[in-house]
Amino acid sequence: MKRIFDIVLSATLIIFLITPMIIIYLIVILTSSGGGIHWSKRIGKNNKTFFMPKFRTMIISTPQVATHKMKNPQENMTPAGHIIRKTSLDELPQLFTVLTGKMSLVGPRPALFNQHDLIELRKRYKIDELKPGITGYAQVNGRDLLTIEEKVKYEKIYCEKISLFFDFKIILKTVYYLIRLGYIKH
């Protein structure tokens, strides 16, 4: 049922959001050099590597490391990157990755290929057996404000409570934070 839910909801969202996605793509390529999509090397289900699309918010020469490990991530932002990232609009291309089955709408956010501490901790608790998600329980409970241990704690809770109803609650909470705050910070 989760896969059917993912397909129906992501296809519906793509239909409704295709025009804003085209506009964001054009804004990115017209305000900075390079392509409009960044293909980020990520770790998916069962620790398999895949490439996750995002609207590009950083300049081309930015190293692929977690944002919190950068000295000053703002200096690497494209002119439109700050607002695109703050509002999580950079994540919209991942709806297509949900359709292909490499991601789910809800699950643990896919780790960067070089986030070894997070990858190992997820292995220990079998969180790596889940498909990564566009949003997740850790995302709506602190996102980047959480330590890796706190993220994994929320992901463990998600594993224990996983259901379509719980996924739907997480999606609603994600939408609430995006509408209320313009971004998920909580």
> How far is Cα 129 from Cα 185, in angstroms, rounded to an integer?
27
User: Which pLDDT score, from 0 to 100, does residue 186 have?
Assistant: 40
**In which residue ranges of the chain is pLDDT below 70?**
65-70, 72-73, 181-186
Domain boundaries, the chain: 2-181
**What is the side-by-side strand order in the sheet with 49-55?**
49-55, 37-43, 111-112
- pLDDT score recorded for residue 106: 98
Strands (E), 80-136: 104-106, 111-112, 133-135
Residue 70, pLDDT score = 64
List Cβ neighbours of 89 (8 Å cut-off, separation of 6 or more): 20, 24, 55, 83
pLDDT number for residue 74: 73
Rg of the Cα atoms in the chain: 16
DSSP conformational letter for 48: -
Query: Bridge partners of 40?
Result: 52
Q: What is the pLDDT of residues 8-28, one digit of tens each?
A: 999 999 999 999 999 999 999
Q: Which residue has the tokens 């241990």?
A: 149
